[in-house]
Structure 1
Amino acid sequence: MAESGNRRKEPSRGARASKSPLAQQASSYFSHHRKVARDSARRLWQAPVASTMTWTVMGVALALPVALMLLLASLQGVSAGWESSARVTAYLAQDVTLDQAEALRKNVGNDSRVAGVELIDRDTALKEFRASSGLEDALDYLNENPLPHTLLVTPSDGSRTADGIQTLLAVVEGMEGVDQVQVDLGWLQRLNAMTELLERAVWALAILLAAAVVLVIGNTVRLSIENRRDEILVAKLVGGTDAFVRRPFLYTGAWFGLGGGVVAWLLLQVSLWWLSGPVERLAGLYRSDFSLSGLTFDGVLALIIAAMLLGWLGAWVAVKRHLDDIEPGEIAGG
């Protein structure tokens, strides 16, 4: 029975033995990655001045386009609010009676592009003007009311754009009895055009600064490669693969990116805190609810990931370019 028990245990030991090479290989692979990551971080901490300078350069280069994008997003949000609140004002002809104006109001309200129409008759308009203008004595000398009936047309949600309002304006202007149609969207269209131009300029600046970040990291990693030239030669001489030799430098680039992303976020937070007060006071003078918006949690995460990817890319470019020039034959030649 003892022999049968031993025989039953043997297959389980064999199964464990058959799985152990793959498990050991995976464990060794991830263990080496952890070791290399820790070693790369330790090397950066051992050179705090150089690392801080690189992180600062990366942080400034990353924070500038992100800050401009946040400013543009705030401007676009404000212009969208102004666009959505825009109304078309239709001044009717002087000979249009109140009944005709009421019929015209119903006709305009039946349009699917219109959310609502308000009729302000000429008597009500004169009373409001008398109360707000302070010209009561001068208005008493008028023989008749010079103000026309007015329609205030509110566009529907689907028409609350610059193009939609222009279409609605043309439709209302073509109706019989309408003398003049007015909507002040010219400045808003100019603001949108400037915002679109600035948006493209910011993207161009972001691409240029991203390329600059890649070059800065690439140059930093290139210096690190030169400083560890003998170590790389020995690693290649004992059979180290290119991936094995490349791995520490890629982690170095990723750590540089992580630090640069954190510095960029800190710069954005400090700038937002410093500018928010004056911006809110200026917006208050214009009776606007404009305010600067910072990065959300997802935005911060995206910024840090993008910074790490740029750091990794810069390191990969430097390693790809300079690592092939280092060959074990240099030892024999020396």
Structure 2
Amino acid sequence: MAAHRSRRRIRARAAAWLEHHGRAVLGALGRLRMQWLATLMTAGVIGIALALPALFVVFMDNTQNVLGDWDGRPRVSVFLERDAPMDRARETAQRLRGRDDVRAVEVLTPEAALAEFRAHTQMDRALSLLESNPLPGVLLVEPPPGLSTARIDALTRTLEGLDIAAEVRLDREWVQRLHAIITLLARLGWLIAGLLALAVLLVVGNTIRLEIENRREEIVITKLLGATDAFVRRPFLYTGLWHGLFGGAIAAILVETAYLLLAGPANTLARSYASGFRLQGLDPAAAATLLACGVLLGLLGAWIAVGRHLSTIEPR
């Protein structure tokens, strides 16, 4: 019997807790709806502050997609003489694979090069007018990871000395510089994101401070009736939550709008460079993360403001 009464008390307390929080959530939403213009302006400021780092994250993700398999390691392209037999090219590739400064060698025949070029471009009509294949065979030589610059340069000179080599190109410096720039931009992005998160906290905190001042008499009367600090604090916290949620939703809309505006031109530019790249926007997980960040920042800003200003309001 005692255990049964204990379970009933626990259920009653849980029901009361849920009822109080539900009223606080709906009450905060109702007050924001009555001041919809001010709510929209506050949420808009929060949305812009959240959208900027979100746009940067999307930009970095798309940059990584552009890089694809380019991991910063150099690759040497050996363009063969036009009359070089492919049997000689394959023998040379097999011989190069036995070197300790070579990780892999890929033989690209003129026909394969033309097929790859045709697959990534829309120049079938122009290519059909050519009497012969203008593309040479290519040996794609990849050194092993961690190979020193001096040894890579020595390998390049060795490849330049091949009797079937017409031209040798080392793709290294521009990839390394690009990765360095991306690393710098990533750190700059985190710094900007931190500053904008601080701005969101200040916006929410100032909004909650003004609401506390406007409801000072109500707070005093509520405390006179015996309300706890947690009970008084609750509606303000949910107000911050709603502000953050609305701001996160606006940020997601702004990012998706930017994607819709830029996707067409970006994809057209990629096709002009014979690339299969397609601009990517926010996926559902990223959008949910953006909403969660807005909610957390809204709650944190409200908590800071309530903790600072609510303690100064006491019945006399």
Corresponding residue for residue 258 of structure 1: 245
Q: 1:227 aligns with which of 197, 214, 217?
A: 214
1:74 is aligned to 2:57: no
Normalising by structure 2, we get a TM-score of 0.79
Determine the C-alpha separation between the residues in 1 that align with 2:233 and 2:205: 13
Structure 2 residues without counterparts, runs of 5 or longer: 81-85, 110-131
**What is the root-mean-square deviation in Å for CA atoms of aligned residues?**
3.6
Corresponding residue for residue 37 of structure 1: 25
Does the CA contact (< 8 Å) of 1:61 and 1:210 recur in 2? yes
Q: CA deviation at 1:200?
A: 1.2
Query: In the comparison of the two structures, how many residue pairs are matched?
Result: 290
Does the CA contact (< 8 Å) of 2:78 and 2:159 recur in 1? no
Query: Any idea what SS the aligned residue of 1:183 has?
Result: strand
Deviations 1:81-114 (A, max 9, x none): 455897413589xxxxx99987653332135752
Determine the C-alpha separation between the residues in 1 that align with 2:87 and 2:158: 16
1:20 is aligned to 2:8: yes
Q: 1:90 to 1:35 in 2, by over 3 A?
A: same
Corresponding residue for residue 169 of structure 1: 152
Determine the C-alpha separation between the residues in 2 that align with 1:318 and 1:279: 43
Q: 1:68 to 1:177 in 2, by over 3 A?
A: closer
Corresponding residue for residue 104 of structure 2: 115
Q: 1:164 to 1:283 in 2, by over 3 A?
A: farther
Deviations 1:267-298 (A, max 9, x none): 11111111111212222222223332111111
Deviations 1:120-174 (A, max 9, x none): 8xxxxxxxxx9639xxxxxxxxxxxxx9xx9723438x74xxx569587356347
Determine the C-alpha separation between the residues in 1 that align with 2:274 and 2:281: 22
Corresponding residue for residue 271 of structure 1: 258
Q: CA deviation at 1:259?
A: 0.5
Deviations 1:26-68 (A, max 9, x none): 2111110111111011111111100000111111111111111
Determine the C-alpha separation between the residues in 2 that align with 1:102 and 1:17: 86
Higher Rg of the two aligned structures: 1
Corresponding residue for residue 89 of structure 1: 77
Q: 1:91 to 1:277 in 2, by over 3 A?
A: closer
Normalising by structure 1, we get a TM-score of 0.75
Corresponding residue for residue 208 of structure 1: 195
Q: CA deviation at 1:22?
A: 2.1
- Over the matched positions of the two proteins, sequence identity in percent amounts to 38
Determine the C-alpha separation between the residues in 1 that align with 2:256 and 2:299: 25
Query: Any idea what SS the aligned residue of 1:288 has?
Result: coil
Does the CA contact (< 8 Å) of 2:236 and 2:302 recur in 1? yes
Determine the C-alpha separation between the residues in 2 that align with 1:233 and 1:284: 66
Give the counterpart letter for 2:134 in structure 1: S
Which of the pair is proportionally richer in helix? 1
Does the CA contact (< 8 Å) of 1:79 and 1:192 recur in 2? no
Give the counterpart letter for 1:182 in structure 2: R
Determine the C-alpha separation between the residues in 2 that align with 1:259 and 1:105: 60
1:249 is aligned to 2:236: yes
